[in-house]
Chains A and B, each alone.
Chain A
């Protein structure tokens, strides 16, 4: 029997009260409830407070570069699609530095679970604006207030026809756990934007700010309807929906690659002698 202890990692070095704790707990509980063993999971992360996540749980880990989680995760998934592959990133990491990779990961649709810890700020580098920071917010690096409009990651994902699009909130940990479970069960790229209050640098989007606005998406919401999903994604301000926005069944990248038809790439034995005879044939040797 798996227990939470199986996922106990190093002691987190996050600020007390940080939204990341709830995400960590939701993740560990989801794994236990799904019965997925730590050695069957790989977490790929980048750099940032969110990027430290895998060290605080217990799974195979590739903690790579800022913004580069998705390509690494794609490489891992293609090499061994029997693993459950998570990409964990911050909003700066995934929407800023790694924006291009997000677009193309969605287009490829590998069976990877992406969790973006969206605190609308750069935490690790001490409070600069991120791509999701609201317009006008003052920071040390944005002394006239943030000039650009904030990115709407959920709308972006739906626009790209991502196969699973959801938003979670660290202040609703049980619902978050369920969302993570749904994301894992989904066959294809699962995009999970998680509202994560940064209690140190984000004075605008606090727990209480969210609590006043966040509401759960109604059971009646037609998750397969892209237009309706898009309409829902545009809600931001007084009312902020959390839950599953959009879902679509489509073949995953792995399923489309002929070489992967029978078994994961990593299990396919390389036959050196056969390779040599193929080369002989191709190059007319002998």
Chain B
């Protein structure tokens, strides 16, 4: 069982809400879900779609063929009918589309009429549509109604009742209308965990002790701001919307200096503004986590599309030389764990950590069987209260063997905590002394980075490890490359190597030897200039042989990627 559902319509028609609700219903049915969205940078009109893939097995990328097309406008029918699979069906309401579709694969369900008859507002037609999709797929009625009830529970009994009725009516109508429906779902299984990239990062931060978040909205990072804000009271976290990204990062630095775990999130343009602050965090050795949710640039670029072209920007951002850590999770689950690791390492080494994601990862929802909360780490590494007071002759920037100085919380002891964006001495006061300058650079850069490198995990290797061809990838291309490898493996030995901890690269152990032995290294990147290949070469001297790039603002599709990989191996 492996179906895909595409919901298309104008902005403002609730395409996203319908998609998210369906994802919840499938996850509650115990199915594996992968969804992604394609939307335009406008609030009303235009063409948007939300695509969901469901399967009994784990899925991590979209399928190109569509099995159910739920169309809220005629444009969706026009654009996506050619994508229908052999069993494909179109669900629509001729009253909403103001036209009847002659295609024999279409089912006209009166969503709007149902909404009005059940006494709901016109927008309840979306609930009828959700019911219809569930009906033709054969979703268990109780699961559909359970999710709908949950969603409206806060709005009171009457609203719940109306929506449940609309969902049922859509469900029943569709079953009757689709007599020859080819769809079958397996018996319900234990529910799965549904999570998007943005949610995973926000949740990962909250469970890592995030106490202060300041940001300025910028697509596709805004979901993080919203999610942290939504749960801020529960977790005891402050969220402040700053006047700009410059203020956001400086507030975060201030809060972290004062003793709490802090984070900001933005996209490329906002990160550009944060660069000066990043350098300040480097100089003052202030722990801080920055999420850089990439989108195609330069400048404002394609605000709602996807690309991963800020890797080298993140690596080189900031004037002067200082340690930093860069992660690029491949899945929401990795995003969750890596965010936890980001907070841990940021505080342990007092360095900024940048988490790179992109629109594709940020807005995609995936399911997982479990969330291993026991593997998370939390250690408060700051000097507080008595343990701070008992320090002798405290110096904020004390030279130590590790390069890591004691991080005191100002006000917790009679010791003073002093730091400076100017070069400073161990106490934190301005200096121009040559020897001190040299030792401070060694401390901030060489000592710390050497230790940090030991904490970095090796890349993930998958497929036929003995094959003499390997595909390299990083960040959110994980899922699509993995599925492409699965397909190629059926008739060709090949492996893949996925990097999620980008800088510093892991110690040059097994993984580098492994790569060096390969006859062909094919590097896949969602950008035009193969930035990871450059980083790899710069850090290890290893050059890849082939590059596959996509930079039209859309994610790689499996079929397309398989073809392009074949082109390099045959």
Contacts and interface: CB of A to CB of B under 8 A. Distances in A.
Interface size on A, as a range, is: 35 or more
A278 B234 contact: yes
Given A39-B414, A72-B250, A268-B236, A276 B212 contact: no
Nearest to B249: A71
Given A65-B280, A265-B238, A278-B235, A72 B254 contact: yes
Interface string B555-567: 0000000000000
B493 interface: no
A187 interface: no
B297 interface: no
Interface string A236-280: 000000000000000000000111100001101010100110111
B417 interface: yes
Contact of A80 (B246, B284, B410): B410
B151 to A, nearest CB: 14
Nearest to B240: A78
A59 B416 CA distance: 6
A71 B254 CA distance: 7
Contact of B258 (A10, A40, A79): A79
B233 A284 contact: no
B247 A101 contact: yes
B247 A71 contact: yes
Interface string B233-277: 111111010111011101111111111111000000000000011
A270 B380 contact: yes
Interface string A51-92: 010110011111111001011111111111011000000000
Contacts of A54: 418
Given A64-B280, A285-B373, A265 B251 contact: no
A275 B209 contact: yes
Contacts of B206: 275, 278-279
A280 B376 CA distance: 13
Contacts of B380: 270
Contacts of A10: 429
A46 to B, nearest CB: 9
Contacts of B240: 74, 78
A77 B238 CA distance: 12
B428 to A, nearest CB: 7
A38 interface: yes
A59 B427 CA distance: 12
Contacts of A272: 207, 209, 376, 378
Nearest to A286: B370
Contacts of A71: 242, 246-248, 250-251, 254
B193 A284 contact: yes
Interface in B403-423: 409-411, 413-422
B191 A42 contact: no
A270 B191 CA distance: 30
B232 interface: yes
A86 to B, nearest CB: 13
Contact of A79 (B250, B254, B370): B254
A22 interface: no
A14 B431 CA distance: 15
Contacts of B236: 259, 265, 268, 270
B253 A75 contact: yes
Contact of B212 (A62, A75, A101, A285): A75
> Per DSSP, are chain B's interface residues mostly helix, strand or loop, or mixed?
mixed
A100 interface: yes
Interface string A147-171: 0000000000000000000000000
B207 A78 contact: no
Given A44-B254, A75-B253, A39 B203 contact: no
B255 A58 contact: no
Contact of A266 (B258, B376, B415): B258
A259 B258 contact: no
Nearest to B192: A284
B231 interface: yes
A64 B235 contact: no
A276 B387 CA distance: 27
Given A100-B244, A270-B211, A284 B373 contact: no
Given A270-B211, A282-B231, A75 B250 contact: yes
A61 B418 contact: yes
Contacts of B244: 100
Interface string A92-128: 0000000011011000000000000000000000000
Contacts of A77: 254
Contacts of B376: 272, 276
A39 B261 CA distance: 21
B235 A55 contact: no
Contacts of A30: none
A280 B428 CA distance: 42
Nearest to A78: B238
A64 B280 CA distance: 7
Nearest to B206: A275
A76 B257 contact: yes
Nearest to B286: A62
Contacts of A37: 414
A183 interface: no
Contacts of B234: 278
B426 to A, nearest CB: 14
A47 interface: yes
A148 B233 CA distance: 47
Contacts of B209: 270, 272, 275
Nearest to B203: A279
A96 B233 CA distance: 36
Contacts of B411: 39-40, 42, 60, 80, 82-83, 266
B381 interface: no
Contacts of A55: 420, 429-430
Contact of B238 (A65, A70, A257, A270): A257
B285 to A, nearest CB: 12
Given A79-B211, A279-B203, A65 B419 contact: no
Contacts of B417: 60-61
Nearest to B242: A71
A126 B243 CA distance: 30
B342 interface: no
Nearest to B411: A83
17 contacts: A55-B430, A61-B416, A68-B250, A72-B251, A75-B256, A75-B257, A79-B256, A80-B259, A83-B258, A101-B247, A104-B242, A259-B233, A265-B255, A268-B211, A270-B209, A278-B235, A285-B193
Interface of B: 191, 193, 195, 203, 206-207, 209, 211-212, 214, 231-238, 240, 242-244, 246-248, 250-262, 276-277, 280, 284, 370-371, 373, 376, 378, 380, 409-411, 413-422, 428-430
The 3 A-B pairs with the shortest beta carbon distances in the complex, nearest first, are A75-B254, A79-B258, A71-B250
Interface of A: 10, 37-40, 42, 44, 47, 52, 54-55, 58-65, 68, 70-80, 82-83, 100-101, 103-104, 257-260, 265-266, 268, 270, 272, 275-276, 278-280, 282-285
Given A79-B256, A266-B211, 10 more contacts: A10-B429, A38-B416, A55-B420, A60-B416, A65-B277, A70-B247, A76-B258, A265-B238, A270-B209, A279-B371
